[in-house]
Amino acid sequence: MRKETQLLLTAGLIICAGIFFLFFKPLVSPGEILNFSDVIHVWYFFKYFTVQSIRKFGELPLWNPLIYSGVPLVGNPQSTFFYPPFLIFFFLPVQWAITLLFAAHMVFAGMGMYIFARKKQLPFVAALFAAAVFILNRKTVGHVFAGHLTQTCSWSYIPWLFICLEKLSARGNLKNIVLFSICVSMIFFCGQMQIFYYQMVIGLVYLLTLISGAKSNPAKTISVYLAGVFTAVALVCVSLLPVLETVFEFHRAGGTDYIFATSDSLKLSDFITLIYPNYFVTPAPGSNTDNLFFWEHAVYIGIAPLFLSLISYNTLRKKKLWFFLCLAVFSIMFSLGSNSPLFKIMYLAVPGIKYFRCPARMYLFASFSAAILSGFALQYVMDNTKSISVKHLCRLMFIIGLIAVFFNEVSFFYSGKMIGGSTKVIAVIFLTWSVLLLRNRFSIGKTFFAVMIFAVTLFDLGSLAYPIIKSVALQNIFPNTKIYEHIINDRSIFRVFDNSGAMPQYVGAQLNIQQVGGDEPVMLGRYLDYIDEMYVKQKSQEGIEPTKSGFEQADLRLKFDWRYLNLLNAKYVYSFYPIKHGNLQLVESFDMDQVNTDYLYGAYPELIKAPKMLQAKTYLYLNHYCLQRAFAIPSESESIDEAVDSVLSNAEKRVMPAKIIDYQPNKLSFEMNVPVKSYFIVSEIFYPGWKAYVNKKEVLIKPVKNLFRGLDLPPGENHIEFVYCPVTFSAGKIVSVSAWIALFLVAVLKKLGLLKK
């Protein structure tokens, strides 16, 4: 036991040292932020807003007013409010906390893989090799490069989930049920629902595989598994119930069409990168478009792990590893999406599949399987010096190495360019071939052989990973503040319609500016319908996919219904091009070099393809006919929608503006004096969980234009208050708190010996 602990500590130190080296610059630079797209656009925005809101208002911001004219935050799983490691955001600078979380979860993933491999009877070196392949392969590092924090957190639990399932099947006692339920709850709290869904399905299949080969009672194992699942559901109710509520309001409610669901499928041509990882693109910090979203199509697991996996069949029967081979094959077939019949069958037959896109993300499980299989194959080669299969493998590697040299020379001859990273790839192929040949022909020692294979693999995967883990000084991601000066000096409540990328949402978070658009996949279907009407469906002729994946940008020089924008309280408009419209007054224009276009998030691919087509300026306009955030209209006899339409149709018609008393994420307060019975309209999203009070008496909220909030006001002085406290959150909080307390009491009683099982 002491020796195993020492080996565990040694593995931990090695993995920590490797990850520290990989993240060295951002880890030792608290003032810098990882130079990844989603880190800047999504995670800095989310966490900066959350931390500042709690510090200012003293409560969790359940609603986010900064994007999409307001959107539920507690119902967004990626808010990750309840994932314990994310508490560090309240103690450290947001940008540094993000770096620490990425690094810590890669260490956590590596340790999980090492422990899982050891439980599968792999020796120390082979287990550590499997861990290195798991955390450094191109797919996992690619998603780190993309800034997918929730995805990184979620996949780091894959080996831990398998460990918990093995414990549960071997001995379904109370301790293992609790460990399993906590593991599942942590994966859910990580917030990446697609990876969570995949893990739960694959985990169940793995459990059934364990049961089929075990002597224990299958019915008992299933019952303890269900007990663990129900316990996990209770633990996560505080997040689960609001998320389920959002699912019904989500723009993907009811599932997505097949075209959208299969977007970013692997292509057969992507498997060229099993040998040439940089064949299509050499990753560099910048836009996702520049990098061709390579992380979704990455399949490279390293030269040595790839070839070692080819001889892992020798250990499959003996070590019962057929599940991992099947998982690898299934994951690859599923990842092919529209390029394989398997995904179409599952899309039609398996509930839940059609809610997600990017089937290529299933390849994470193929890389996991390849890691564990290559670990066993390494041990097999260490133990079998004269294996015929190793001889064949050496010949195969030599032939592939020659082919790689040939294609590289052909490419250089015709284009003057070498295939991306080809020199290093060819070197790694021949280094691996040489080490295998030495082991097979001259019976070199196990230790020397293992160290050499390990060194070649670390050089192979590490040399790809290290150059793309970059950071940048925080102030460098913010454009010149002069372009925001006019907006900052405007103390009223308003929204900005940014059609240029001049105000990314992370800038909006720092300046506390609310926007009509945003960069976040959780959007309300009704809101996108409203925006579509505002654009007068100007893009519908261009073959836009039925399921929208993002907030579409409009060309304001084409058909555009300004009345909808006026009702959105969009007081300012940023544009790439000059606009001549009676609504707008030019405030000022800026040269494009004052706008940080490095972080323009793909709204305008034409800017990258043909920048000369666009003017080299950004224009800021004041919208004169923007309606106030809250106002009243005499009710007379028409409905509230008719009253609003009459105002929108007559720009000269006056409304009675409300005085804003308080504006918080979870609470809004207004005051106004109306001479007659009136409709009160506020340009805030109508959503379950919002309650309205007039003079401290709860009143019914009426939907306005199927999107905003309205209510009836009596004549006279009125105090109006809107409070967001969804029943789903309140009920879920009670269930979850009770479940965690119960779990704690169970642990205490078991520690005291009062619980035997």
In 85-123, which residue ranges form alpha helices assigned H by DSSP?
Answer: 94-119
Residues 6+ apart with CB under 8 A from 1: none
pLDDT confidence band for 397 (50 / 70 / 90): confident
Torsions phi, psi of 501, nearest 5?
Answer: 85, 10
**What residues form DSSP beta bridges with 473?**
32
Q: What is the pLDDT of residue 559?
A: 79
* Residue corresponding to tokens 């506390």: 512
| CA distances from residue 456 to 141, 316, 453 in whole angstroms, order as listed | 18, 25, 5
Closest by Cα among 305, 304, 310 to 392: 310
Which amino acid is it at 609?
K
- Answer for the pair 57, 14: CB distance below 8 angstroms, yes or no: no
DSSP reduced 3-state for 691: strand
pLDDT confidence band for 485 (50 / 70 / 90): confident
For the record, the structure tokens of 234 come out as 């209770």
**How many whole angstroms from its chain centre is CA 550?**
14
Range of lowest pLDDT (16-30, 457-471, 554-568): 554-568
Closest by Cα among 655, 729, 523, 675 to 67: 523
Sheet of strand 659-663, all strands in order from the earlier edge strand to the far edge: 659-663, 667-674, 716-724, 690-694, 697-699
- Answer for the pair 113, 17: CB distance below 8 angstroms, yes or no: no
| Secondary element (H or E) of residue 204 | helix 193-212
- Answer for the pair 70, 682: CB distance below 8 angstroms, yes or no: no
Based on its alpha-carbon atoms, the radius of gyration of the chain, rounded to whole angstroms, reads 29
Q: What is the pLDDT of residue 394?
A: 78
- Answer for the pair 139, 295: CB distance below 8 angstroms, yes or no: yes
| CA distances from residue 362 to 17, 77, 116, 353, 699 in whole angstroms, order as listed | 29, 19, 20, 12, 48
DSSP reduced 3-state for 148: coil
Residues 6+ apart with CB under 8 A from 196: 154, 187, 188, 190
Task: Categorise residue 359: left if φ over 0, alpha if ψ from -120 to 50, beta otherwise.
Answer: alpha
pLDDT confidence band for 405 (50 / 70 / 90): confident
Residue 524 DSSP label: B
**What residues form DSSP beta bridges with 719?**
671
What single string gives the DSSP state of each residue in 299-326?
Answer: ----HHHHHHHTTTHHHHHHHT-HHHHH
Q: Work out the widest C-alpha separation in the chain, in whole angstroms.
A: 99
Q: Is the pLDDT of residue 293 over 90?
A: no
* Highest mean pLDDT (candidates 416-420, 573-577, 611-615): 573-577
For the record, the structure tokens of 126 come out as 């082979």
Closest by Cα among 172, 240, 170, 160 to 203: 160
pLDDT confidence band for 596 (50 / 70 / 90): low
| CA distances from residue 523 to 180, 249, 252, 516 in whole angstroms, order as listed | 32, 8, 9, 12
For the record, the structure tokens of 353 come out as 């599949």
- In degrees, rounded to 5, the angle at the alpha carbon of residue 550 between the alpha carbons of residues 367 and 70 is 120
C-alpha span between 167 and 639 (Å, rounded) = 63
Q: Over the stretch 335-357, which tens digit does the pLDDT of each residue have?
A: 999 999 999 999 999 988 988 98
C-alpha span between 286 and 290 (Å, rounded) = 7
Is the pTM here over 0.85, yes or no? yes
pLDDT confidence band for 594 (50 / 70 / 90): low
Q: Helix, strand, coil proportions of the chain in percent (round to 5)? A: 55, 10, 30
* Residue corresponding to tokens 């390990």: 454
275-284 average pLDDT score: 85
Q: Is the pLDDT of residue 608 over 50?
A: no
- Answer for the pair 165, 177: CB distance below 8 angstroms, yes or no: no
Q: Over the stretch 494-542, which tens digit does the pLDDT of each residue have?
A: 999 988 778 888 988 988 999 998 888 888 989 988 988 888 765 544 4
Helices (H) and strands (E) in the chain, counts: 29, 19
**What residues form DSSP beta bridges with 717?**
673
**What residues form DSSP beta bridges with 656?**
632
Q: Is the pLDDT of residue 602 over 50?
A: no
Q: Is the pLDDT of residue 319 over 90?
A: no
Q: Is the pLDDT of residue 320 over 80?
A: no
Closest by Cα among 629, 623, 587, 621 to 494: 629
Residue 628 DSSP label: P
Burial readout 310-344 (b: 16 or more C-beta within 10 A, e: otherwise): ebbebbeeebebebbbebbebbbbbbbbbbbebbe
139-159 average pLDDT score: 93
- Answer for the pair 578, 615: CB distance below 8 angstroms, yes or no: yes
Average pLDDT, rounded, for the chain: 86
pLDDT confidence band for 652 (50 / 70 / 90): low
715-734 average pLDDT score: 94
Percent over 90 (pLDDT), the chain? 50
Q: Is the pLDDT of residue 192 over 70?
A: yes
C-alpha span between 493 and 629 (Å, rounded) = 7
pLDDT confidence band for 439 (50 / 70 / 90): confident
Which amino acid is it at 21?
F
C-alpha span between 573 and 562 (Å, rounded) = 11
Torsions phi, psi of 681, nearest 5?
Answer: -120, 135
Residue 199 DSSP label: H
- Answer for the pair 98, 33: CB distance below 8 angstroms, yes or no: yes
For the record, the structure tokens of 632 come out as 């009243």
475-490 average pLDDT score: 82
Classify residue 528 by burial, with Cβ atoms within 10 Å: 0-12, 13-18, 19+: middle
C-alpha span between 640 and 629 (Å, rounded) = 16
C-alpha span between 153 and 103 (Å, rounded) = 10
Q: Which CATH architecture has domain 630-725?
A: Sandwich (2.60)
pLDDT confidence band for 41 (50 / 70 / 90): confident
Q: Pick the residue with more confidence: 474 or 479?
A: 474
DSSP reduced 3-state for 53: helix
- Answer for the pair 628, 569: CB distance below 8 angstroms, yes or no: yes
Q: What is the pLDDT of residue 570?
A: 93
570-575 and 495-498 beta bridge pairing: parallel
C-alpha span between 115 and 242 (Å, rounded) = 35
Range of lowest pLDDT (75-89, 561-575, 595-609): 595-609
Classify residue 577 by burial, with Cβ atoms within 10 Å: 0-12, 13-18, 19+: middle
Q: Is the pLDDT of residue 546 over 60?
A: no
Residues 6+ apart with CB under 8 A from 448: none
Q: Please report, to the nearest 10 degrees, the dihedral formed by the alpha carbons of residues 395, 397, 402, 403 taken in order.
A: 110
* Residue corresponding to tokens 């070839």: 307
| CA distances from residue 676 to 227, 497, 636, 652 in whole angstroms, order as listed | 60, 34, 9, 21
- Sequence length of the chain is 757
Domain boundaries, the chain: 2-157+288-468, 478-623, 630-725
